Each structure stands twice: as structure tokens, then as C-alpha cells.
Amino acid sequence: MNILHAFSINNVGLLHYVGTALIVTVLVVTIRRLFFDPLAKIPGPWYAKWTDVVLKIKSLSATGPIYVDKLHEKYGPMVRLGPSQVGVTDISAAKKIHTVKGDYVKTDYYLGLGYRKENVINTQDPETHRRHRKLLSQPISERSLKAMEPQIEEKIRLTIKRMGEEMKTRGAADVYKWWMFMATDTIGQLTFGESFHMLERGEVNTEIKDIQLIGAVSSIGTQLKAVMPILYHIRLPGFTDSLKTMSDRQSTSAIAKLQKLGEEMESKDQLLFTKLVKGLTMEGESLTGTELVYNAEGYIAAGSDTTSNTLTYSTWALCRNPELRDQLVKELENLPADFTDEHLKALPYLNHVIQEALRRFPVIPNGLPRYVPKEGAELGGYWLPGRTTVMTQAWSMHRNPEVFPNPDEFNPARWENPTKEMKDSMMAFGGGTRICLGMHLAYIELRLGLAHFFRTFPRARVSTLEGMKDDDMIQALHVVASPQSHRCLIEVL
């Protein structure tokens, strides 16, 4: 009894000390957050001082950009999103964050993208990014892509042909599907010298299904990094394999394709990875075999549904507004039969349409989180300590009514005389040193795709076949935004 009694007394004492420690901890945290928090002056919802769980829930439900945008409407260009996270729409602050100096590095958010596969897109290390970008940028520059234009145009012509065939048999063409096939086959052709042949087959192959599923799981990883090691190894409901199995299969395929590219080098000179596979060295630097594989995979993932979704929304926006469509058709009538992208770059209205589609329907709508440099910085009139996460999102930057009047309206004419604020607010391809490497390729595909489509189908309109309606085109705001119904039916008169 004495032993039990002593144990009971000691146990009560232990609980007393633990309870006291917890109370003291809560009091210290509370006092710090209320009176000494360096972000305390930044406006925002009361709960943002304590947690960012609301932002995570909204992001996982594909409404994160809308939630953040409403906070900006209520609290202003600088808004508290979490204990150490701040949303930014102040133009000067956004430019400072995405400066070419590159001292605002990517946050752990990017660890969920391309999980366990570091590439030029997701790397957090500035030195690794500098080396990768230096070696990868020249083959995908605007000048280098001119030599690849015939391959791009071949895919687009086949796309238009397949759309026409589907219109005849189905009554309408699902341009969302065909533009996705085109962009994916094109980036496959330019990366590996071998298309995925989805345009010919009219369906998604296993390799692209793997990429799409990996992307879906990775988007979860951007918000819930702690669960990624678990998600990586288990098979989720509705998935045929684990993320690891799909990832390994994807890498095996990429390795085989790059090896084949190396064996057929002489006949595959005009490709994005030809010189790198040859062992290109610039100023004594090169990419390892593993780095080549991971960047090739990143190209396929980043260069497919981003461009295709912009093409889809451009097509839809014009087809639902005959006045805008006819204005573009009239401009395209003056092109020679053998027009090239160089001709299209000189067409004002076509390029206004593209710019407006990038603004109105950003395919990367979420924030681009960065860490404030360790020495801290003043942004938007507030002092932010080092390692604070600052987040600029295209969804909000592109919809500021003071910069873009009637921001929900698709109005290409707004780009006839753009203001400096309009130009500075555009973040369709990111900014600074981390601006999208594939930007020039995307513009070529957008120009050629729209020109060939509306030259072939000048009377195209949105179809009502199979219950197609405007609500189908509401954007599901995941890491890459797409129509929530995953279709866009277009028909011809």
C-alpha cells in the first residue's frame, strides 16, 4: 500500500508539473502572438494568427485562390494568411519578391511537386536552379524553337483534323481533350523525339495517366507535406498503383526514351534535350543522367495541360462571343496560306486574345510562395522578418479592379493600350529568375493553335450537346486549373 500510495502521490505531482508547463507554454505563445508578433500589424482574419488550416482546407478543395482573393478584397493588398504567411497583391512588393536577383527562395510548398525528384521547376536551392536553368534555357529559347516549328505545326494540323472528324461523327468536338492531346504529344516529340501518339489514338495512354495521377497526389503534398511519405508508398482508393510505383514507371520510361534519343542523335538534332544528352558542358557545368531524367519528366508535366487549358479557354471565350470571334477571323483572313509563327506575332488582335486569356483564366492560379530573406524585408509598408512566407497569386493579381476594370469580363481590347500596372500585374508565367522556361513554346502553340482553329472553323460556337453549359467551364482551382467538367464541346454552324 505504501508503494502504491507513493506512486499515486508522485503521479499526481507529475501531472501537476505537466499541466503547469502546458499552461505556461500556452500563455507564452498567446502573449507573444498578441503583443510581440512581428506580423501582428498585418490585417487579416483573427484565426490567421494561430493557424493556416483554413487556407489548407480551401486549397485542397480547389477554392484556395478565391478564399485568398476575398481576404484581399476585405483587408487590402497585404493580408495575414497564417502564423508566418502573408498574401501579397501590392504591385511593387510583388515585383520585389519576384526580382531577377532571386533572393526570395521557394518554400517547402514545392517539395510536394515532383516528390523526391528535384528539377529546375521545384528546386529550392538557388545554385542548383542557376545551373539547371543555364543548361536548359538555350534549347527552349525563342530563337532555338524556330527550328522546331514544323514539328509543332504538324501536331496542330493533326489536332484540327481530328477535331473536324469528331464534329462530323459526334456533332461537336471536345476541344479540351484535343488541345490536351496536342500539347502533350508536342512536348513529348520535342523532348524525346517521340510523340505519345494520343492524337492518333484519341485517348490517354498509361504514361500520361501516371503523370496526371502523380500530379493529383502531389497537389495534396503541397499542403500536407507530412503525409507525403505515406501517400508515396500506399495505394490510394481509385488508384491502380502507389505513387512510388507510378513514379518509378515514369522514370523507367523517360530513361529508355533518352537512351533511344542518344542512339538516334544524328536524326534528332532539333530537340530540346539533344545537346544535353550529347553531354553539353557550359563553363564546366553539365547535368547528370538523373537530372536529365527528372527535368524531362518535369517538362512533360509542365508543358501539357497548362498550355492546353489556356487554348481551351481561349477557344471557348471566343466561340461564346461571335463579335470577338469574328474580329479574330477577319484578322486571320489576311494571312498567307503558308503562314508561320512569325506572321502571327505581328497580329495585334490574336495576341490581345492570348494575353486576355492568360489574365482571365490563369492556369496556375494559386500563390507562388517564397521565403523572405533571412535579414528580413519591408514589403507593402510592413516589416516582415526573415523566413516569413510571402505569397503572390495570379488569380488576385489579374483581377484587381483598379488595374483591370470589370475583371470578370473577357475583353481583349483592354490590351490595345496596356498600362504599366497591367503589365506589372501579369503573372501567368511567374516572374523573376523563376519565370517559366517553357513560356516561348507556350506562346508558339497558342498562336498557331488559335490561328489554325479559327481559319478552319470560322463559324465555331459553343455546343449545347450532351448538356454542355457555361457552368462546365468554371475553373477547378487546383495547382493547375482546368474546367471542372473536364470538357469543352464546340460545334460549327
Please choose, from the candidates 325, 288, 410, 312, the residue with its C-alpha nearest in 3D space to the C-alpha of residue 359: 410
Whether residues 27 and 127 fall in one domain: no
Whether residues 140 and 259 fall in one domain: yes
**Confidence (pLDDT) at 29:** 52
Q: Answer whether residue 368 shows pLDDT above 80.
A: yes
Question: In the numeric block, which cell numbers belong to residue 53?
Answer: 488550416
Question: In the numeric block, which cell numbers belong to residue 283?
Answer: 563553363
**Confidence (pLDDT) at 102:** 85
Q: Is residue 57 part of a domain?
A: no
Q: What is the pLDDT of residues 207-216, one digit of tens each?
A: 888 888 888 7
**Confidence (pLDDT) at 16:** 60
Q: Is residue 369 part of a domain?
A: yes
SS3 223: coil
Q: Quick one: pLDDT band at residue 262, thresholds 50, 70, 90?
A: confident
d(CA 179, CA 315): 10
Residue 355 parent element (H or E): helix 348-360
Whether residues 5 and 116 fall in one domain: no
Whether residues 129 and 27 fall in one domain: no
d(CA 119, CA 380): 32
d(CA 65, CA 292): 33
Q: How many CB atoms lie within 10 A of CB 91?
A: 18
d(CA 171, CA 492): 9
- Pairs from 126-130 (Cβ < 8 Å, separation ≥ 24): 126/102, 129/102, 129/433, 129/434, 130/433
Q: Quick one: pLDDT band at residue 455, thresholds 50, 70, 90?
A: very high
Residues recorded for the chain: 493
Q: Which residue has the cell 483573427?
A: 46
Q: Answer whether residue 470 shows pLDDT above 60.
A: yes
**Confidence (pLDDT) at 212:** 83
Q: Answer whether residue 30 shows pLDDT above 70.
A: no
Alpha helices in 50-148 (DSSP H): 53-60, 64-75, 91-97, 126-137, 142-145
Tell me the CATH number at 140. Answer: 1.10.630.10
Q: Quick one: pLDDT band at residue 14, thresholds 50, 70, 90?
A: low
More confident residue, 86 or 262: 86
Q: Answer whether residue 26 shows pLDDT above 70.
A: no
Q: What residues have CB less than 8 Å from 192, skipping those under 6 apart?
A: 254, 257, 258, 260, 261, 271, 273, 296
Q: Is residue 335 part of a domain?
A: yes
Lowest mean pLDDT among 3-7, 36-40, 74-78, 361-365: 3-7
Burial class of residue 297, CB neighbours in 10 A (0-12, 13-18, 19+): buried
Whether residues 32 and 112 fall in one domain: no
| First vs last C-alpha separation in the chain | 95
**Confidence (pLDDT) at 15:** 61
Whether residues 425 and 338 fall in one domain: yes
Q: Is residue 238 part of a domain?
A: yes
Lowest mean pLDDT among 85-89, 132-136, 266-270: 266-270
**Confidence (pLDDT) at 378:** 97
Q: Answer whether residue 405 shows pLDDT above 60.
A: yes
More confident residue, 227 or 172: 172
Whether residues 30 and 141 fall in one domain: no
Please choose, from the candidates 285, 300, 297, 200, the residue with its C-alpha nearest in 3D space to the C-alpha of residue 254: 297
Lowest mean pLDDT among 4-18, 57-71, 269-283: 4-18
Q: Quick one: pLDDT band at residue 295, thresholds 50, 70, 90?
A: very high
The proportion of the chain whose per-residue pLDDT surpasses 90, expressed as a percent, equals: 79
Q: What residues have CB less than 8 Å from 404, skipping those under 6 apart?
A: 359, 398, 414, 422, 425
Whether residues 173 and 285 fall in one domain: yes
Q: Quick one: pLDDT band at residue 34, thresholds 50, 70, 90?
A: low
Q: What is the pLDDT of residues 97-122, one digit of tens each?
A: 999 888 999 999 998 888 889 999 99
Q: In the 8-state DSSP scheme, what is residue 95? A: H
Range 18-39 average pLDDT: 61
**Confidence (pLDDT) at 236:** 82
Range 238-245 average pLDDT: 88
Three-state DSSP string of 291-335? HHHHHHHHHHHHCCHHHHHHHHHHHHHHHCCHHHHHHHHHHHCCC
**Confidence (pLDDT) at 356:** 98
Question: In the numeric block, which cell numbers belong to residue 307?
Answer: 498550355
Q: Which residue has the cell 479574330?
A: 328
The winner for highest mean pLDDT among 24-33, 141-150, 277-286 is 141-150
**Confidence (pLDDT) at 144:** 94
Lowest mean pLDDT among 53-57, 148-152, 299-303, 389-393: 299-303
Lowest mean pLDDT among 90-104, 122-136, 199-213, 472-486: 199-213
Whether residues 315 and 400 fall in one domain: yes
Q: Is residue 56 part of a domain?
A: no
Whether residues 32 and 121 fall in one domain: no
Q: Answer whether residue 349 shows pLDDT above 80.
A: yes
**Confidence (pLDDT) at 436:** 95
Q: Answer whether residue 24 shows pLDDT above 70.
A: no
Q: Answer whether residue 73 shows pLDDT above 80.
A: yes
Whether residues 131 and 26 fall in one domain: no
Task: Tell me the CB-side half-sphere exposure of residue 38, using CA atoms within 13 A.
Answer: 13
Please check whether residue 110 is in contact with residue 370, taking contact to mean a CB–CB distance below 8 angstroms: no
Give CA separation, 439 vs 66, 134, 141, 208, 434, in Å.
25, 16, 9, 21, 11
Q: Is residue 78 part of a domain?
A: no
Q: Quick one: pLDDT band at residue 239, thresholds 50, 70, 90?
A: confident
Q: What is the pLDDT of residues 153-188, one digit of tens each?
A: 999 999 999 999 999 999 999 999 999 999 999 999
Q: Quick one: pLDDT band at residue 252, thresholds 50, 70, 90?
A: very high
Average pLDDT, whole number, for the chain?
Answer: 92
Q: How many domains does the chain have?
A: 2
Q: Answer whether residue 31 shows pLDDT above 60.
A: no
Residue 18's domain comprises: 1-36
d(CA 292, CA 274): 11
Q: Is residue 100 part of a domain?
A: no
Please choose, from the candidates 110, 190, 176, the residue with its C-alpha nearest in 3D space to the C-alpha of residue 145: 190
Lowest mean pLDDT among 61-75, 164-178, 195-209, 228-242: 228-242
**Confidence (pLDDT) at 225:** 87
Q: What residues have CB less than 8 Å from 335, skipping those under 6 apart?
A: 343, 344, 347, 451, 455
Give CA separation, 288 vs 67, 269, 276, in Å.
41, 20, 9
Whether residues 228 and 327 fall in one domain: yes
Please check whether residue 83 is in contact with residue 52, taking contact to mean a CB–CB distance below 8 angstroms: yes
**Confidence (pLDDT) at 215:** 80
Q: Is residue 44 part of a domain?
A: no
